[in-house]
Structure 1
Amino acid sequence: MIWLALPLTLALYFLTRALYRKLPWPIINPVLVPTAVIIGLLLWLDLPLAEYESGTRPITALLEPAVVALALPLYQQARQIQARLKPILICTLASVLISVCTTLGIGHWLGADPALLASLSTKSITTPLAMSVSQSIGGIPAIAAAVVVVVGITGALIGYPLLRLLRVTDPEAQGLAMGACAHAIGTAASAERGISQGAFASLAMVMCGILTAAVAPPLFALYHWLIP
């Protein structure tokens, strides 16, 4: 399947990026459009998902190195970050607490089982961390990964239009918001906006990942203690 899956995935990605340069509409997203087209093709041609996924393993293997590469914009903005370290920590911690607590609260209200809650609690951090953290608290890594992708695409689509609507114009604040809420996909969208947005989005993504790994397990344990 690698002869089909790999070139098709890459071709759809680069074609979507080229189209976005000519028509910079949020809906023309290099993750959303290829995903929708590939799902349609798999259903139409009745191709097994597992085989297609195995054909894209060379791309999947680049996921973790790509996350590490986001350290470059952090280095470029090191002085600005150091000068604002305290508010950055407060903002990212608040983001993590809001994300996990609202998930537990709304999920409990809707009657979600603990495994699903654990899978959804890591929705705002990047995929490798989300899968690991959700599994450590009893979640399902596959569901966690799927939710992370949906959240990231949604954030990339509506993030900057919503920030403009709310009159958030500071590049650093925009980057922090996108990285905290839309993880790697939001960070990639921020990097295309400017160096400051990309650097602070990278920082927020990293900080939220670390804080979620530290905060989610005790919050989940507290949830089980309060609501057995």
Structure 2
Amino acid sequence: MHSFSPAEIRKMQEVSGLSLEQVVRELREAGLDSLPGGGAEILDDRIRKQISRHKGTWRDWMDVMQMAHKVGLNTSATMVIGFGETMEERALHMLRIRDAQDQCIENKYDSKGFLAFIPFTFQPDNTGLKRERETPEAYLKTVAIGRLMLDNVPHLQSSWVTMGPEVGKLSLSYGCNDFGSTMMEENVVSSAGAVHKVNINSILELIREAGKIPAQRNTRYDILKVFKDGTQVERDFVMQN
């Protein structure tokens, strides 16, 4: 099971009266395998106070992730650009993820730490933050810099959901090695104006057009199936993010 954002874990801690470590350990014992990286936004408190002050500080987010690593859970890390953050704040976000991953490796936890880094762009429609959308060039630049800076994080996932399938295909040449999934349901960026949708055969074709070999994985990034040249699927399926 890949579930519960750091903000949700913090809420569990608040209502249960348990310590953060107790909450995360009990979730693992109940069957939780990994945590998604939702709510990271930008890991700097100046911008967080402007856009998501109820989600806590960047340290609140990171403490949950590092506790997850300590008790043996894998995680992922997201990054949302386009809130009006500075380039220095974007770089700081990546550096904080890199430092936490280094600590996980150095401590030899029974966890691979952050399995994936997933940058995407802020979608301004139907929000109180009216801003211009980030360009494909800005997104691809972020992907490329992320791949260079986060050499200790094994996977970098494309965001075709916010940028569209063609930019998603391009991102595979800028550092992404994971196209993402068809998604069974998505209610966050779709409510803010992102409307891109593709089925699994379209994903296979886009990956091949990028000169890559498509494969199906699970949440642990174990390869379940490699799709040979021209192979299609008769029935759609959803790959876990």
Q: TM-score w.r.t. structure 2 length?
A: 0.28
The structure that is helix-richer by fraction is: 1
Q: TM-score w.r.t. structure 1 length?
A: 0.29
Higher RCO (C-alpha under 8 Å, 6+ residues apart):
1
